[in-house]
Chains A and B, each alone.
Chain A
Amino acid sequence: MATETYDAIVVGSGISGGWAAKELTEKGLDVLLLERGKNVEHIKDYVNARKAPWEYPHRGFRTYAMEEAYPVLKRDYPLNEKNLDWWASDRDSPYTEIKRFDWYRGYQVGGRSLLWGRHSYRLGDLDFEANARDGVAVDWPIRYADIAPWYSHVERYAGIAGSVEGMPQYPDGEFMPPIPLNCAEELVAKRVRGEFDGKRRIVHARVANITRPLPGRAPCQYRNACWLGCPYGASFSSQSSTLPAAMATNRLTLKPWSIVTELVYDKDKQRVSGVRVLDAVTETTTEYNSKIVFVCASALNSTWLLMRSATDVWPEGLGSSSGQLGRNLMDHHFRVGASGRIDDPAVNDKYYYGRRPTGFYIPRYRNVERQDRDYLRGFGYQGGAHREGWTRAVRELGVGGEFKDEMTRPGDWQIGATAFGEMLPNPDNRITIDASRTDKWGLPVLAVDCAIGENERLMRIDMMNDMVETFEAAGVKDVSPFEREYAPGMGIHEMGTARMGRDPKSSVLNGWNQVWDAPNVFVTDGACMTSSACQNPSLTYMALTARAADFAVNELKRRNL
């Protein structure tokens, strides 16, 4: 049988792969999109989207049997009864934890675009210049001006709800009307702005939930059930947004259950000629050829694939000539912040209607105008206010009819926020292949060795104390700090391990996301990040992917690839 040939192959159908498929097909390429897991069809396969909350036997909670089956996933919220089908099996896909690393994966068409939190923030020059300014790791090969038009491009198509703030460290973009703050949040936001001279600011979270219709998509219906699949397509996912566009070109071939085991490297041409694919169900192997390959399998999986490729030339894999492949693994460290109670005549008789899919954001304000803290970089906060509900009934003393009736009334206003902090790139935080174990499909697994360092520990002190200070200044009552155990990976913002840079001796990818050692291979997901910034990273993957796709198509036209 002749090997099928495409113009481009995209590995992975999540946020980055969906964008690669859309951009490349729309620019006229025939694209094969390979996804290791099952297919999930938009709306049709959102089996729980309309299920009533009381219909889950355990009302969403995890059982013993689930904990048995998911030894990693159970470490945080993802293990639950409602959308477990979209989280990858820990048993089928084990990995080695040299230090604890929580790896929560989504192996299906759409990947974690079905599961993400949808916060969408641009990085700015404060971030792109950071490594050079601080003498940390290597310089990003791009600046804000290089990516700004691509942020606009993806924001317009994905649909980002948010507010324009005019803060240099928090670049504005192309926004739909924001998802509203409630009146308690408005009250605190106004006071914070006054108390901190506009430098600390509670703003509308910028999220990929549309508030105006887009073709084929209805605006947010305020059900707050995005993670069950949005039947309105209001929440951005590959299914709701990028895949329909790619399919509409008739140039997309989507193959689920296709595990790419290696990129086939042609030594003579110094290019990749295609990919080798293992059928996850039948376990048969097929090769596909293409002119270019976009690797968008999620940070660790993309690098894992590079490590398995071209090992006859480079024992540690394609892209390893710099010695940086697998290194500089990052996440966002979080689970620290503060909460308190709002008691104010302006809002005590106010409430809300509808279920928002998000809350507020506080953009980074530390080390912005000058480096003046004892750590580098900074953090932002995500939070919200609401009136306490029935769960207070457990804590409080009381039983009986009167108590029950009291508990069916809304409680006090509460407000809280959690910081998300930047994690510095560190070459010792790395992934390697553990040849002593294999996964269900016989692939040697990854070993992860990653920990936060002194910079992050120092930052966490501010992350906690600042939130107390901010809330107290705004008149929030009974403010209490919290800090809970954080292990790398819990942020589900894995970044790095195949960083972009300016020099093939110290980076895996160039400024166009091309692998230095095989320029027809592009890695555009979280693996490419040279530093982590503190903003949620997915929007940056979208923009880098669209930018790289545009570059790749132009290079093909010029016959440079």
Chain B
Amino acid sequence: MTKKKNNPPLWTRREAILKTSAMLGGAALIGQSLMLTGCERQQTAAPVAEDPRDGLFSDADLELLDEIAETIFPETDTPGAKVAGVGPFIALMVTDTYSPAEQAVFKEGLATIDRECQQAYGRIFVELSPAERLAIAERLDRERFDAGEANHYFRMLKELTVLGFFTSETAYKQILDYVETPGRYDGCRDLSPDVRMHAGHGSSPLRT
């Protein structure tokens, strides 16, 4: 038994999930009812959307998700969220893993973002310049940060962006230190600037 966090193996296995929850912003990963007992969900059947287009989101929504994700994690010297396929991933996760209540918060949040953009700039999010998008995203991130652990829609967006980005093929191959079969363990290596961030098998907290 050994606990899982982002990369390293180190915590005891069960520890992992809750620890990870804490890391993913202080509460359970939204949509993952990991803390159980007495909080069974109401919905009877889950929509499953291998293709997010079959789910809750329109093409315009998907475009918006892509652009928000790219604003949170844009291309720099390394690829950004759009190239990593984060927009469709967010749609899939909201569709397949969120409760109806969480889905409603999320969907309403997307509408709120465009409303705020209209108020501030007279245009919707995807019509803004990169600098304008960043200003909006910074404001919303501050808002969700100050809101603490509440299910703020921007926390959902950010959490799924971070998760979708760092568990993407793009990140594994171009950003993280991921070797399918390391073959050895070195517990005391120099952290020089060219050393990439360690990627667990799955970097997802569910290390199995």
Chain A interface (Cβ within 8 Å of chain B)?
Answer: 50, 52-54, 56-65, 67-68, 71, 74-77, 80-83, 100, 117, 119, 179-183, 185-186, 205, 221-225, 227-228, 334-335, 337, 339, 349-360, 382-395, 397-401, 404-405, 407-410, 414, 416-418, 420, 482, 484-485, 487, 490, 536
Report whether B190 and A349 are in contact in the complex, using a CB–CB cutoff of 8 Å: yes
Q: Which residues of A contact B72 (CB under 8 A)?
A: 399-400, 404
Q: Among A222, A355, A399, A405, point to the contact of B137 (Cβ < 8 A).
A: A399
Give B20-76 interface residues, CB cut-off 8 Å to A: 20, 22-26, 29, 31-37, 40-41, 43-48, 50, 71-76
Q: Shortest CB–CB separation between residue B130 and chain A, in angstroms?
A: 9
CB atoms of B9 and A384 under 8 A apart = yes
A interface footprint on B1-20 (CB within 8 Å = 1, 0 otherwise): 11101111111111111111
Whether B87 is near chain A, meaning CB under 8 Å from some CB there, is no
Q: Do A61 and B97 touch across chains, with their CB atoms under 8 A apart?
A: yes
Give 11 new A-B contacts, CB below 8 A, not counting A222-B185, A389-B203, A394-B23: A57-B92, A58-B92, A67-B41, A182-B187, A224-B200, A356-B9, A382-B3, A387-B8, A390-B197, A397-B145, A420-B12
Of B19, B89, B188, B199, most A-chain CB atoms within 10 Å: B188
| Residues of B close to A418: CB separation below 8 A | 3, 11-12, 14-15
Complex partner residue of B17 from A76, A221, A222, A354, CB under 8 angstroms: A76
Nearest residue (CB) in B for A419 is: B12
- Which of B105-113, B118-126, B174-182 touches A? B174-182
Of all chain B residues, which has the CB nearest A402?
B76
Say yes or no: A390-B8 contact (C-beta < 8 A), given A180-B187, A354-B186, A383-B3: no
Are the C-beta atoms of B96 and A58 separated by less than 8 Å?
yes
Least CB distance, B22 to chain A, in whole angstroms: 8
B74 touches A355 (CB 8 A): no
A100–B177 Cα gap in the complex (Å)? 42
CA distance A404 to B176 in the complex (A): 13
Q: Interface SS of chain A: helix, strand, loop or mixed?
A: loop
Q: Looking at the assembled complex, report how far the CB atom of A161 sits from the nearest CB atom of chain B, in whole angstroms.
A: 11
Q: Which residue of A lies closest to B140 (CB)?
A: A399
> Which one of B20, B40, B206 has the greatest number of beta carbons of chain A within 10 Å?
B206
Proximity string of chain B (153-171) to chain A, C-beta cutoff 8 Å, 1 when within and 0 when not:
0010011001110111100
Chain B residue numbers with a CB within 8 Å of A399 are 71-73, 134, 137-138, 141, 158
Contact, CB under 8 Å: B8 / A386: yes
Asked whether any CB of chain A lies closer than 8 Å to the CB of B207, the reply is yes
Q: Are A64 and B190 in contact (CB under 8 A)?
A: no
What's the minimum C-beta distance from B199 to chain A, rounded to whole angstroms?
8
- Bound Cα distance from A62 to B208, whole angstroms: 12
| B72, chain A: closest CB distance, angstroms | 5
Which residue from A83, A405, A484, A536 sits with its C-beta under 8 Å from B76?
A405
Could you jot down 9 A-B contacts, CB within 8 Å?
Answer: A60-B207, A205-B2, A351-B195, A355-B8, A388-B23, A399-B137, A417-B11, A418-B12, A418-B14
CA distance A227 to B208 in the complex (A): 5
Q: Is there contact, CB below 8 Å, between B206 and A487?
A: no
Q: Which one of A76, A354, A359 lies within 8 Å of B182 (CB-CB)?
A: A354
Which of A354, A359, A382: most chain B Cβ within 10 A? Answer: A354
In the bound complex, CA of A58 to CA of B191 (Å) = 31
Taking A59-B167, A61-B32 as contacts, is the C-beta distance between A225 and B201 under 8 angstroms?
Answer: yes
B13 to chain A, nearest CB (A): 6
CB contacts (< 8 Å) of B73 on chain A: these are 399, 404
Q: Chain B CB within 10 Å — which of A182, A221, A404 has the most?
A: A404
Give chain A residues whose Cβ lies under 8 Å from the Cβ of B138: 399-400
Q: Are A386 and B97 in contact (CB under 8 A)?
A: no
Contacts A53-B204, A64-B96, A359-B2 given: A351-B198 contact, CB under 8 Å? Answer: yes
Shortest Cβ distance from residue A81 to the other chain B in the assembled complex, whole angstroms = 7
Complex contact B185–A179 (CB within 8 A): yes
**Is B76 touching A404 in the complex (CB atoms < 8 A)?**
yes
**Does A357 contact B2, Cβ atoms closer than 8 Å?**
yes
A416 x B207 contact (CB < 8 A): no
A390 x B166 contact (CB < 8 A): yes
Give the CA-CA distance A71 to B187 in the complex, in Å: 39
Contact: A392 with B78, CB < 8 Å? Answer: no
Q: Which 4 A-B pairs have the closest CB atoms?
A: A384-B10, A64-B46, A389-B6, A117-B1
In the complex with contacts A221-B183, A391-B24, A356-B8 CB distance below 8 A:
yes
B175 to chain A: closest residue by CB? A408
A394 & B162 in contact (Cβ 8 Å cutoff): yes
Q: Select the residue from B14, B44, B191, B203 with max chain A CB neighbours within 10 A.
A: B14
CA distance A386 to B23 in the complex (A): 13
Q: Is the CB of A60 within 8 A of B15?
A: no
Q: How far is the CA of A83 from the CA of B45 in the complex (A)?
A: 22
Cβ–Cβ < 8 Å partners of A350 in chain B? 188-191
The interface residues of chain B lying within 8 Å CB-to-CB of A409 are: 197
Q: Are B186 and A352 in touch, CB under 8 angstroms?
A: yes
Asked whether B204 lies within 8 Å of A352 as measured between CB atoms, the reply is no
Residue numbers in A under 8 Å from B182 (CB-CB): 221-223, 353-355
- Contact call A60/B14, Cβ cutoff below 8 A: no
Q: Which residues of A contact B23 (CB under 8 A)?
A: 388, 391-392, 394-395
Complex: chain A residue closest to B99, CB-CB: A64
User: Nearest residue in B to A350 (C-beta to C-beta)?
Assistant: B188
